[in-house]
Amino acid sequence: MRLPLDRAVAAASGSLFEADAAPDSLRVSTDTRSIEPGDTFVALHGEQFDGHDFAAQAVQRGAALLVLDRPSARVGGVPAMLVDRTNDAYMQFARLARDLFDGLVVAVTGSTGKTTTKTFLAQLCQAQFGDRVLAAPGNENNEVGVSRLLLNASNEAHDVVIAEMGARRYGDVAILVDIARPHVGVLTNIGEAHVEIMGSRERLAETKWALFSRGAIAVLNAGDEVSIARATTLTQQPRWFAAVAREPAPELSSLFDPLVALVGERCLFARDGGNDCEHEIRAQVPGLHNRANLAAAIAGALQLGVPLERLIPEIPALHLPQGRYDRIAIEGGPRVIYDAYNANASGMIAALDAFAGETASRRIAVLASMAELGDESQSLHERVGAHAASTVDVLLVSGDFAAALASGARRGGLDASQIVPVRDNSHAAAWLRQHATGDDVILLKGSRKYKLEEIVEELFA
């Protein structure tokens, strides 16, 4: 989105220098590697960098205007906008871009499934809007990522923008919603992710529920107790989604209307205004949790105005984002399922449930610990370990809470000989090379901090 110069200066409360040479409209960039001649470079502050160190390089690559909060970074003869804090100015530019965007904005948040739901939703929306759908790449779901998404939108190229909104601190979602002001908000669930940082489950729920603080129509999980309890506070009727193994299920109650639900892998149940119908589908995504993410995406697309008859033919071709239940074949070795992009208790349990459906001589799970669970860390790790006992034949445990995972697994019924504590990824890979056969299947699941992809790399070495 190109921003009129005068409105950008006003939005950022900036002071313009060398104004006569400044461009009339701004195409905003924060990365010198992708700057095009005439761009405006915003010198952001990051944990590991300061964009002001690259201001001169930005000019060399063609930047026509610099946005700075450090006057000493100015480049002689080059227009500059000085602001109090460049990161805040960047968000103000994004708010302006949102003001200028004529299309629909939808935001996805939740404790688990955000990226998967966003990916499914983007694919489904193409059935109606073609290539005029702009979705956040990867998991760019913080202030910078959401701002960049909006600044990359344009009325000439896009009808729908799909934002992903993460929350690592109390109140984060409200900040992102204030920038993006979505028309539709998809809330996958409210679990226990980041409860340590949030301070309590209630503060976590408040943070997620802020998705609807600027009037977004809610798309809610009929299997999420917190969402059900809070739905009465909404001023507009929500649209519900669910995934169930079979009927009957509480999530299909007549209280949920409108509703879209996946029943098993072959049935899509839809309700609107009390009228129920069923459609045969092929939902080729592993696990009930991923089918819930798919149902959320279908409900979100319906709320955006995509007809159900256009969505159904697209369902068989949907694919998961990278790092989510990736099936990896090792020649002459066991099958590996890498699902270690990140982890919390509900996500671990959901992955284990999906893993339980794998056909193999043995199901071997490598579970690393989870992070940021606060006072509940011990009990949640024990809960995951106990659940693993009912789904796997061998359990390798690692990380800060490996002992709690092992304790839960023993309580769940695994024999001590079936539980293998490992020091690190190299130790896990060595054990797998020695003991796993081509008839086995291996699940890798754990917090991102433990880098379980290193196990895959060593198995291929």
Residue range 122-135, pLDDT digits in tens: 999 999 999 999 99
Return the pLDDT at 200: 81
Could you tell me which residues come within 8 angstroms of residue 48 by beta carbon, excluding any fewer than 6 positions away?
none
Return the pLDDT at 333: 86
Judged against a pLDDT cut of 90, whether residue 280 lies above it is answered with yes
Q: Tell me if the domain spanning 326-460 has CATH number 3.90.190.20.
A: yes
Task: Calculate mean pLDDT across residues 286-297.
Answer: 95
Q: How far apart are CA 29 and CA 57, in angstroms?
A: 13
List, for residues 351-378, the tens digit of each pLDDT value.
999 999 999 999 999 999 998 888 889 9
Task: Calculate mean pLDDT across residues 415-433.
Answer: 97
9-29: burial string, b at 16+ Cβ within 10 Å, e else: bebbebebbbeeebbeebbbb
Judged against a pLDDT cut of 90, whether residue 74 lies above it is answered with yes
Would you call 42 helix, strand, or coil by DSSP? strand
Could you tell me which residues come within 8 angstroms of residue 330 by beta carbon, excluding any fewer than 6 positions away?
336, 459, 460
Judged against a pLDDT cut of 70, whether residue 192 lies above it is answered with no
Task: Calculate mean pLDDT across residues 227-245.
Answer: 96
Residue identified by tokens 């590996």 is: 336
Say how many C-beta atoms besides its own lie within 10 A of residue 181's C-beta. 17
Q: How far apart are CA 159 and CA 145, in angstroms?
A: 19
Return the pLDDT at 155: 98
Contacts of 375-380 with C-beta under 8 Å, sequence gap 24+, read 375/196, 376/192, 376/195, 377/196, 377/401, 377/404, 378/404, 380/192, 380/345
Q: How far apart are CA 177 and CA 218, in angstroms?
A: 13
* CATH of region 3-84, choose from 3.60.20.10, 3.40.50.720, 3.40.190.10, 3.40.1390.10: 3.40.1390.10
Q: How far apart are CA 323 and CA 73, in angstroms?
A: 40
| % of the chain surpassing 70 pLDDT | 98
Considering only residues 322 and 421, tell me which one the structure prediction assigns the higher pLDDT. 421
Task: Calculate mean pLDDT across residues 152-166.
Answer: 97
Confidence of residue 47 (pLDDT cuts 50, 70, 90): confident
Return the pLDDT at 296: 98
Q: How far apart are CA 247 and CA 187, in angstroms?
A: 24
Domain ranges of the chain: 3-84, 101-317, 326-460
Helices of type H across 254-401: 288-303, 308-311, 345-355, 377-389
Considering only residues 195 and 237, tell me which one the structure prediction assigns the higher pLDDT. 237
Give CA 92 to chain center in angstroms.
23
Strand ranges (DSSP E) for 253-323? Answer: 259-263, 267-272, 275-280
- Taking CA atoms, 105 is separated from 137, 138, 206, 235, 333, in Å, by 15, 18, 22, 19, 45
Side by side, the strands of the sheet bearing 394-397 are 326-329, 335-338, 441-445, 363-367, 394-397, 419-421
Judged against a pLDDT cut of 80, whether residue 408 lies above it is answered with yes
CATH superfamily, domain 101-317, is Mur-like, catalytic domain (3.40.1190.10)
Q: How far apart are CA 210 and CA 203, in angstroms?
A: 11
Judged against a pLDDT cut of 70, whether residue 193 lies above it is answered with no
Judged against a pLDDT cut of 90, whether residue 118 lies above it is answered with yes
The number of residues in the chain equals 461
Judged against a pLDDT cut of 60, whether residue 194 lies above it is answered with no
Q: How far apart are CA 381 and CA 345, in angstroms?
A: 7
Residue 401 has phi, psi (to 5 degrees) of -115, 30
Please provide the average confidence, as pLDDT, over all residues in the chain: 95
Could you tell me which residues come within 8 angstroms of residue 73 by beta carbon, excluding any fewer than 6 positions away?
43, 52, 53, 55, 66
Return the pLDDT at 201: 82
Return the pLDDT at 197: 63
Q: How far apart are CA 411 and CA 384, in angstroms?
A: 11
Return the pLDDT at 374: 83
Largest CA distance in the chain: 77
Judged against a pLDDT cut of 90, whether residue 54 lies above it is answered with yes
Return the pLDDT at 342: 78
